[in-house]
Amino acid sequence: MESRKPYLATLPGLILGCLVCCALWGSAFPCIKIGYALFGIPAHDSASQLLFAGLRFTLAGMLVVVGMSVAQRRLLVPQARDIKPIFVLSLFQTIGQYFFFYLGLSRASAMSSSIIEASANFLAILFAALAFRTEKLDAAKVLGCVLGFAGVALVNLSGANGTFGFTLDGEGFILASTIAGALSTCLIGIFSREHDGVLLAGWQFLVGGLVLTVIGF
């Protein structure tokens, strides 16, 4: 008798899970702006922005570690073999990505940021195929990325003024954040083959959050 797959392991469940993750990621832009307003953090106050980011990710890491420890009924403590992947991931996924993201978002326009961020998936596929050799680059993947990027660009460029600005400490920082995020996507796929992905996620958030908090202070 064939056992039934969990719902999230089926195609509809997978699509639903991806849509939820996309919605949560999309909420980051307005929520960060709202957070700046609630805590009275001005656009030029880089230290407070990094402190805000650091505390956010430190708390996120603690929630993942504690929550999954309770759910799995075991302490989610890294072993010696997990230390290096945790620090490498935290360098790209949290420290590098969000150092530039939080500082750049306060100086870049929402339209420019959205267009640059739309290149993240395309960059991740290019890095995976050309640098890490974990993916094969075919016409379908390239076409999908190009169409997706073009769609975001078209929606934003057809907005109020249709202009695209670029400053080094604004859109330039958003681009650096996007590159770091694309690299971290590839690294997650590689490390998750031999390590607990949830453990890596929780602890790299915690480590990266603490580093950003110290920088902010």
Tokens representing residue 171 in the block: 């859109």
Q: What is the DSSP string of 145-194?
A: HHHHHHHHHHHHHTSSS------TTTHHHHHHHHHHHHHHHHHHHHHTTT
Q: Which amino acid is at 113?
A: S
Average pLDDT over residues 11-32: 84
Query: pLDDT by residue (tens digit) across 67-80?
Result: 999 988 888 899 99
* pLDDT value of position 165: 63
Q: At which residue do the structure tokens 């992947």 appear?
A: 85
Tokens representing residue 127 in the block: 């890095």
Sequence length of the chain is 217
Burial of 11: CB neighbours in 10 Å, binned 0-12, 13-18, 19+: exposed
Query: pLDDT by residue (tens digit) across 176-208?
Result: 998 898 888 888 888 988 898 889 999 999 999
